Copies of this chain bind each other. A is one copy, B any other.
Amino acid sequence: MIKVAVVGCGYWGPNLIRNFCSVPQCVMSMACDTKPDRLEYIQRLYPSVAVTSDFQDIINNDDIDAVAIATPVAMHFPMAQQCLQRGKHVLLEKPITASVKECQELIRLAVKHGRTLMVDHTFEYTAAVNKIKEIIQSGELGQIYYIDCVRVNLGLFQNDINVVWDLAPHDVSIVLYLLDQQPESISGQGKAHLKPGIEDVAALALNFPDNLGVYIQSSWLHPNKIRKITIVGSKKMLVYDDVDPLEKIKIYDKGVEVPAHYETFGDFHFSYRYGDIYSPRLEETEPLKKVCQHFIECIGNGTQPRTNGISGLRVVSVLESANISLKNGGSPIAIDWNRVTPEEISAKDSI
């Protein structure tokens, strides 16, 4: 029986605890937070879970096999490093680390110690995103022209990271998962309106191969809660509205017919195609439950998680480049993926 500890019992941690409690192949053993009231809260809800305010109690406890870390991003690396060095499997909240370098090091440690390293890219486990991936792969949308992501609301502000590191990881992980491709270059625009140096509004543009563009808007300062991803293909268009309880995905049989040949400028005419709209039913399972189950299964089987260290690295690479562009006024930054994911890492990690 795999014994699990959860570190960080603020906003997301209790959800991890609740879900690990429901996975039969593991025991939710220990919870850690620096704030006594959070530990009391956990104690009251889960009397059988041991609590501690000292992270070393988890590190030094050899009974703990796996640790899920839901602390501020800056602490992801030092905590995960210690866990892996002590032979514990690690699940990290998104983004996996605060830098590419940190993530590369965690991947190396996971390979070295033969432990599972996983990142909680929750949306990659939702019914909606998997349905969309299926639709894209079936060719129904045709060639993807561009993807537009909007993730805005009022708050929750973070003190240590800007809105790009807070909200955009969701969109980046979804897009990389859907496209199975990596952007060649990235530019970012953003401004800090409330706290100097912490951008609360940002707009990213990612350039993928084959002229595919991805646009990501993130804001902590918006009157409406919007979580919308629009995918425009040569055949059909798809809108994924995560806030809509009933029609999360809508597929529009809309498109533009490009004439095969045209000779003179004046001859060039597109014709628009309007068609049916279709909204597939989605099963409603909590995606975090699937994340926790998958983590425990990968530990048990020794298999690579779908959202492993490399997956986390890719997202962090995009965020890091976006952030550099943003801090420099928006000039695009090219990403050298060979440098980001050296041969030896990806090879070993994928074993």
Task: Mark A residues whose CB is within 8 Å of B.
Answer: 47, 145-146, 148, 154-155, 157, 159, 185, 187, 189-195, 201, 203, 205, 211, 213, 215, 217, 219, 221-224, 230, 232, 234, 237-239, 246-247, 250, 252-254, 256, 258, 265-266, 268, 270, 272, 274-281, 329-332
**CA separation between A275 and B278, bound complex, in Å?**
11
Stoichiometry, copies per complex = 4
Closest Cβ–Cβ distance, residue A248 to chain B (whole Å): 11
- The residue of chain B having its C-beta at the shortest distance from the C-beta of A273 within the complex is B154
Whether B201 lies near A213 (C-beta < 8 A) is: yes
Closest to A199 in B: B213
CA distance A67 to B201 in the complex (A): 44
Question: Given A203-B205, A222-B232, A223-B232, A258 and B194 touching (CB < 8 A)?
Answer: yes
Within 8 Å CB of A222, what residues of B? 148, 230, 232, 237
Q: With A247-B277, A265-B159, A276-B278 known to touch, is A256 a contact of B217 (CB < 8 Å)?
A: no
A216 to chain B, nearest CB (A): 10
Within the complex, what minimum Cβ distance (angstroms) separates A23 from chain B? 15
B217 with A215: CB separation less than 8 A: yes
Within the complex, the shortest CB–CB distance from A187 to chain B, in Å, comes to 5
- Please measure, in the bound complex, the distance between the C-alpha atom of A272 and the C-alpha atom of B200, giving whole angstroms: 14
A-B pairs, top 6 by smallest CB distance, nearest first, are A223-B237, A223-B252, A189-B205, A277-B279, A145-B193, A331-B331
A192 to B234, CA, bound (A): 13
Instruction: Output the nearest chain B residue to A224 by Cβ-Cβ distance.
Output: B239
- Indicate if the CB atoms of B230 and A215 lie closer than 8 Å: no
**Contact status B146-A270, CB under 8 Å:** no
Mind listing 22 A-B residue pairs with CB under 8 Å? A145-B201, A146-B191, A154-B254, A155-B272, A159-B268, A189-B215, A191-B213, A193-B232, A194-B256, A194-B258, A221-B256, A222-B232, A223-B237, A223-B238, A223-B250, A224-B246, A274-B281, A276-B281, A277-B279, A278-B278, A329-B332, A331-B331
Min CB distance A32 to B, Å, is: 19
B residues in contact with A187, CB < 8 Å: 187, 189, 329-330
The residue from B154, B256, B274 contacting A272, defined by CB atoms under 8 A apart: B154
A276 near B280: Cβ-Cβ < 8 Å: yes
With a 10 A CB-CB cut-off, give which of A193, A223, A268 has the most chain B CB atoms.
A223
Separation of A247 and B270 alpha carbons in the complex (Å)? 24
Q: Contact at A193–B221, with CB atoms within 8 Å?
A: no
Is B281 within 8 A of A279, CB to CB? no
CB <8 Å contact, A246 and B277 = yes
Asked whether, in the complex, the Cβ of B215 is within 8 Å of the Cβ of A256, the reply is no
The reply to whether A211 and B189 form a contact with Cβ atoms under 8 Å apart is no
Residues of B within 8 A of A155 (CB): 256, 270, 272
A145, B221: Cβ atoms under 8 Å? Answer: yes
Q: Which residues on the B side are within 8 Å of A47 (C-beta)?
A: 47
CA distance A254 to B143 in the complex (A): 33
Nearest opposing residue in chain B for A45, CB measure: B45
